Amino acid sequence: MLRSQAAAAESQTLPPLKRLAAIVGGSAGNLVEWYDWFAYASFTIYFAKAFFPKGDQTTQWLQAAAVFAVGFLARPVGAWLMGIYADRVGRRAALSLSVAMMCAGSLIVALVPGYRTIGVWAPATLTIARLIQGLSVGGEYGASATYLSEMAGRGRRGFWSSFQFVTLIAGQLCALLVLIVLQHLLSTAALETWGWRIPFVIGAGLAVVVFWIQLGLEETSSFAAARERDGERSKTMLLFLEHPKETAIIFALTSAGSLAFYAFTTYMQKFLTNTAHFSKAEATEITAWSLVWYMLCQPACGWLGDILGRRGVLAAGFGLLGLATWPILTALSAQASPFLAFLLIAAALTMISGYTAMSAVVKAELFPAEIRALGVALPYAMANAVFGGTAEYVALWFKQAGIESGFYIYVSAGCLIAFVVAARMRETQTTSRILED
């Protein structure tokens, strides 16, 4: 039965231009979503004291990081609701809805007055905005990973689906580039007073544009085939009862992958400023250049996954990072050269690419179409909430407690556990549940 369905689907291969248009359209929303999400992290160094005026710089950043973490708590809820929505209504509809929600959250952040104007309502409103954005990003990941993997085609599924993280990193990079431009155009006082609001206005505007683009996307053949089969549709209990091993694998891989990702991307800007004592402008530029390198690593590692297999690339990335995190962060903490700091971060991000480039395709290949979006999104968002969303807070807590190296051990241990899981899992390239090309 499965072979006959796969054979039938083989004859309905998308033309190259249509496939490319689908990949670009599906990726565009991901870029805007993550630009808005990371704009918060990138501009925290300027707006933290507008919402949390008490305490020293580390305390203010710690409070802002706590709100960042709160946004992650909404991501499992968004993943759950939007995963079911994507499996029942369609991948395209879920992508459009999540972008609209991100637009609303960004507008709230852009317009909310500071603590001196409305008191405790300022951080409360900021938290509400982050919860809305958390719902949005939680839903976007599963819908995007599923859409890109289903549209990618059998032969180059690893390569094309890696563009989910290409656009994710591009969104983060765009947020940093906006920051760099504003740092050159505005004074520090202007950035802290009103300039930090500009990126959120930009994000809301971009979301409107992408919303209209995504209304014209084609639905995937996998979703269409699942609808025709009219079997049991996406249900939460079905995920945990019928696919417990796959759910556990995604949770374990995402726990370590998200922790390492946030440690070496969003937290790096603060680490370079707070620990290595680079200026804010230097830290931003080092982080930006390392993200350019990281973005270029994604399709290369995705291509390797198509040639060598997903499992080997995953295991190599986690294993190397588990061994290298301590020496990299230790060397980085005492580094005075911006170029050498860039090389150290780039080395870590190259290793993390073994996970991030494989992330979408491996997770999508584990589940049948009827429950794929929920299966990809929910365990990912749960792990992200626990480990990714708290990465900055945990790092700053270790810093404030005077035992910063404890965070290095924390990241290393997570990666080594994920290495074991990746090495023991089945090769999804040869056992893929995506039947349609």
Instruction: Quick: pLDDT tens for 24-40.
Output: 777 777 788 788 878 88
Q: Token digits for 110?
A: 């852009």
What per-residue confidence (pLDDT) applies to 6?
41
Report d(CA 134, CA 382) in Å as an integer: 12
Stretch among 38-47, 280-289, 334-343, 399-408 having the lowest mean pLDDT = 38-47
Stretch among 154-163, 248-257, 325-334 having the lowest mean pLDDT = 154-163
What per-residue confidence (pLDDT) applies to 7?
36
Whole-model pTM: value is 0.80
Domain boundaries of the chain, sorted by first residue = 11-424
Report d(CA 22, CA 24) in Å as an integer: 6
Report d(CA 285, CA 179) in Å as an integer: 9
Residues 6+ apart with CB under 8 A from 12: 221, 436, 437
CB 333 within 8 A of CB 50: no
Q: Token digits for 128?
A: 């509400």
The torsion of the CA quartet 281, 285, 288, 292, rounded to 10 degrees, works out to: 170
Report d(CA 200, CA 37) in Å as an integer: 10
What per-residue confidence (pLDDT) applies to 9?
42
pLDDT at 262 over 50: yes
Using 50, 70 and 90 to split pLDDT, how confident is the model at 63? confident
Using 50, 70 and 90 to split pLDDT, how confident is the model at 65? confident
Residue with tokens 């670009």: 24
Mean pLDDT on 106-113: 90
Angle at 142 between CA 138 and CA 144, to 5 degrees: 110
Gyration radius of the chain over CA positions? 21
pLDDT at 71 over 90: no
CB 131 within 8 A of CB 119: no
Stretch among 213-222, 256-265, 274-283 having the lowest mean pLDDT = 213-222
- May I ask the CATH class of domain 11-424? mainly alpha
Using 50, 70 and 90 to split pLDDT, how confident is the model at 230? low
Q: Token digits for 339?
A: 């170029």
pLDDT at 44 over 90: no
Report d(CA 39, CA 133) in Å as an integer: 12
pLDDT at 11 over 60: no
pLDDT at 257 over 50: yes
Question: Among the residues of 74-120, which ranges form H helices?
Answer: 75-88, 91-111, 115-118
Mean pLDDT on 204-226: 77
pLDDT at 136 over 70: yes
**410/226: higher pLDDT:** 410
What per-residue confidence (pLDDT) applies to 10?
40
What per-residue confidence (pLDDT) applies to 234?
53
Q: Determine how many CB atoms are found less than 10 A away from the CB of residue 36.
A: 28
What per-residue confidence (pLDDT) applies to 5?
42
pLDDT at 295 over 70: yes
pLDDT at 19 over 80: no
Burial of 336 (0-12, 13-18, 19+ CB in 10 A): exposed
CB 135 within 8 A of CB 101: yes
Using 50, 70 and 90 to split pLDDT, how confident is the model at 154? confident
Report d(CA 136, CA 171) in Å as an integer: 15
What per-residue confidence (pLDDT) applies to 31?
84
**117/330: higher pLDDT:** 330
Using 50, 70 and 90 to split pLDDT, how confident is the model at 340? very high
Average pLDDT, the chain: 84
Mean pLDDT on 235-240: 70
CB 262 within 8 A of CB 388: yes
Report d(CA 58, CA 48) in Å as an integer: 10
Burial of 117 (0-12, 13-18, 19+ CB in 10 A): exposed
Residues 6+ apart with CB under 8 A from 432: 154, 157, 365
Query: What is the share, in percent, of the chain residues with pLDDT greater than 90?
Result: 31
Report d(CA 425, CA 429) in Å as an integer: 12
pLDDT at 81 over 50: yes
Residue with tokens 């004074």: 187
What per-residue confidence (pLDDT) applies to 406?
94
Burial of 413 (0-12, 13-18, 19+ CB in 10 A): middle
Q: Determine how many CB atoms are found less than 10 A away from the CB of residue 208.
A: 12
* Number of residues assigned to the chain: 437
